[in-house]
Structure 1
Amino acid sequence: MRQFLPFALLLAAPAAAQGTAPFTIDGHGFATLQDAVDSVRLGTATILIAPGVYHQCAVQAGGRITFKAQQPGTAIFDGAPCEGKAVLVLRGQGSTVDGLVFRGIRVADGNGAGVRTEMGDLTITNAMFLDSQEGVLGGEPTAQHIAIDRSTFSGLGQCDETPDCAHSIYLANRGSVSITHSRFERGRGGHYVKLRVPNVSITDNSFDDTGGRKTNYMIDLPEGATGLIAGNVFVQGRNKENHSGLIVVSAEAKTYRSTGLRIENNDARLSPGDTTSPAFVADLSHDRLAVGANRLGAGIRPFETR
């Protein structure tokens, strides 16, 4: 598995953005992120973001925009969501988030996120989502494609602040979601990954729940899905709200067929002292899943039909 951004990078970041133009497009500077976004209109652009801690947010209303840190891990967005939703509210034709850090985001409805996707394909790479209600949230009722790679999700989720839970990642669309080479840890409620999509690819990730509190499933596919879950490492923590399963399929509905969903070559363990007996895969779809060989520690049952 690839290396994740070290937390030391956060400590090394300047306390505030330097200079008068922390956001640049092709060398042209902007004082605020929203000014830079607005200048793109329906075009295509990369917004380079200087090192610093920013209490800003932006709404993308059109175009294709890449939000890119000049140096990964040093452009930190601290709180300050737009529209009571997220630091980046995305409803353009497409968006890429590269190397940014999002932390401390909370809103009244309990869904404060680093990134809220409402329209357009989305790629997230080398990003960090820390100590917020939610990391990445949203989707659209079309064939939207979302890819998340080499990113860290830590201290996210909640079930205490509002009637509905928030999760580290919660996405819904009628296209696909891919999550690769990423780390999930220290959840604070809800699920680590919750996807209401027909096609998923969740590979080569690390799920470390040993420091979690009031968490639920590692991966929740509440309406079913096909695709691949492989090469992941799971450690189930002791302080959970729901111990019953690590990967759960169709717990709420059977919107999407799950026949052929491949779950293989994963490694799962219980944290020391955990005496529960969860199912590695809990299936409520009653479709024919393709559960292959997985390396399971003591106490974890391979499969359960509910």
Structure 2
Amino acid sequence: MRILPIALLLTAAIAATATAQGGGTAFTVAETGRSFASLASAVSSIGDGAGTIVIAPGTYRQCAVQEGGDIAYRAAQPRTVIFDGAICEGKAALVLRGRAAHVDGLIFQNLRVPDGNGAGIRLEQGNLDVEGAVFRNSEEGILTHDDANGAIRIDHSTFQRLGRCDRDLDCAHGVYTGNYGSLTVTRSRFEAGNGGHYLKTRSPRVTITGNSFDDSAGRATNYMIDLSNGASGTISGNEMVQGRDKENYSAFITVAPEGREHDSSGLVIADNSASFVPGLSRQSTFVANWTDDRVRIGANKIASGIKVTDRR
């Protein structure tokens, strides 16, 4: 997978206007045709039912809490809808605790809170699908609680200038999922982190395929993929480039660095590439394993100076 310039990936986002369009008709529930001036009102109108909120192009300083139901949040035109800076419950632009949520084509930016975990999405329960979204210039992109019966799917999305490890607070990360039933991340881009890990998960089952992790402009970052408590599944077809400015450059992928809670013997890591930015020479490990589980590491393209695996 070829790493593309930031500007090329976000060209569509430039079309977003400086102020919200449509006034009282900015948020329309597709199934009923009713329009609302606020996202929160549109969400409330769906309640515990199911519906799609179509959002007009614009920049919105609004947030919403989904208490129930199955709700889709869809940009009328992909990547022309920006949620900028507004936080609900001291957590995120979207706080989700319904049966399911679907986020399609939205941009989340400039999200910060006193505890250092300001996110585009805070998922507390239920399933989540994210498609074609952008998370940037915030403390965290997506942060979740635990839901052993839930599933998270992220596709074709960008996570840029996220994360932090400062102020004596717990670190924030590009994506940080709790003990969710499964996590799938495909065709997405992680880049220019500001600290923490690019992708951290406690899920027991993962599918992480076809993504790029470009750390060349990262600052004080750590791992590309952190399987905090181990996991089974597949990590394949990903391109990983480690940058110079690292808090911890000792590994690209980690297995159970915070204790083994899930069996990783069914984990397959193959057909990935791992390298350093041009001109950088150092020692690192592609897969650092804190367990005795026999992770199946297949053929990967690994640059000089990177050990395939080690036991820690």
What is the match of residue 133 of structure 2? 127
**Match among 7, 21, 42 for residue 10 of structure 2:** 7
Q: What CA distance in whole angstroms lies between the structure 2 residues aligned with 1:132 and 1:145?
A: 24
Q: What CA distance in whole angstroms lies between the structure 1 residues aligned with 2:187 and 2:10?
A: 17
Equivalent AA in structure 1 for residue 142 of structure 2: V
Structure 2 residue 34 is matched with structure 1 residue 25:
no
**Match among 124, 141, 146 for residue 140 of structure 1:** 146
Structure 2 residue 80 is matched with structure 1 residue 74:
yes
**Match among 149, 154, 162 for residue 160 of structure 2:** 154
Structure 2 residue 263 is matched with structure 1 residue 251:
no
Query: CA 1:174–1:49 in 2, change beyond 3 Å: closer, same or farther?
Result: closer
Query: CA 1:286–1:90 in 2, change beyond 3 Å: closer, same or farther?
Result: same
Equivalent AA in structure 2 for residue 37 of structure 1: V
Q: What CA distance in whole angstroms lies between the structure 2 residues aligned with 1:183 and 1:162?
A: 28
What is the match of residue 57 of structure 1? 63
SS of equivalent residue, structure 1 residue 11: helix
**Match among 184, 189, 210 for residue 190 of structure 2:** 184
Deviation at 1:28, TM superposition (A): 1.2
Q: What CA distance in whole angstroms lies between the structure 1 residues aligned with 2:277 and 2:226?
A: 20
Structure 2 residue 135 is matched with structure 1 residue 117:
no
**Match among 61, 86, 96 for residue 92 of structure 2:** 86
Q: Which runs of 4+ in 1 moved over 3 A?
A: 1-6
Q: What CA distance in whole angstroms lies between the structure 2 residues aligned with 1:140 and 1:250?
A: 17
Deviation at 1:285, TM superposition (A): 1.3
Tell me the alpha carbon deviations over residues 66-85 of structure 1, each in whole angstroms, 9 at most, x when there is no partner. 00000111000001110000
Tell me the alpha carbon deviations over residues 236-282 of structure 1, each in whole angstroms, 9 at most, x when there is no partner. 01100001000010101111111121000001111123222100000
Deviates more, 1:131-140 or 1:149-158: 131-140
Deviates more, 1:5-14 or 1:15-24: 5-14
Q: What CA distance in whole angstroms lies between the structure 1 residues aligned with 2:157 and 2:167?
A: 26
Q: What runs of 5+ residues in structure 2 fail to find an aligned partner?
A: none
Deviation at 1:60, TM superposition (A): 0.1
The answer to whether the 8 A contact 2:178-2:203 is kept is: yes
Deviates more, 1:147-156 or 1:17-26: 17-26
Deviation at 1:157, TM superposition (A): 0.1
The answer to whether the 8 A contact 1:109-1:162 is kept is: no
SS of equivalent residue, structure 1 residue 146: strand
Q: What CA distance in whole angstroms lies between the structure 2 residues aligned with 1:174 and 1:198?
A: 7
The answer to whether the 8 A contact 1:137-1:169 is kept is: yes
**Match among 205, 213, 232 for residue 207 of structure 1:** 213
Deviation at 1:16, TM superposition (A): 1.1
The number of aligned residues is: 306
Deviation at 1:299, TM superposition (A): 1.3
Q: What CA distance in whole angstroms lies between the structure 1 residues aligned with 2:310 and 2:156?
A: 31
Q: What CA distance in whole angstroms lies between the structure 2 residues aligned with 1:203 and 1:141?
A: 22
Structure 2 residue 220 is matched with structure 1 residue 220:
no
What is the match of residue 262 of structure 1? 268
The answer to whether the 8 A contact 2:64-2:93 is kept is: yes
Deviation at 1:14, TM superposition (A): 1.4
Tell me the alpha carbon deviations over residues 108-160 of structure 1, each in whole angstroms, 9 at most, x when there is no partner. 00000000100110000000000100000013232210000000000000001
Equivalent AA in structure 2 for residue 11 of structure 1: I
Deviation at 1:25, TM superposition (A): 0.6
Equivalent AA in structure 2 for residue 106 of structure 1: R
Q: What CA distance in whole angstroms lies between the structure 1 residues aligned with 2:20 and 2:168?
A: 34
Equivalent AA in structure 1 for residue 227 of structure 2: L
Q: CA RMSD in A?
A: 1.4
The answer to whether the 8 A contact 2:199-2:225 is kept is: yes
Query: CA 1:152–1:91 in 2, change beyond 3 Å: closer, same or farther?
Result: same
**Match among 171, 174, 178 for residue 172 of structure 1:** 178
Equivalent AA in structure 1 for residue 130 of structure 2: I
Q: What CA distance in whole angstroms lies between the structure 2 residues aligned with 1:118 and 1:268?
A: 33
Q: What CA distance in whole angstroms lies between the structure 1 residues aligned with 2:233 and 2:127?
A: 19
TM-score between the two structures when normalised by the length of structure 2: 0.95
Deviates more, 1:157-166 or 1:53-62: 157-166
Structure 2 residue 19 is matched with structure 1 residue 16:
yes
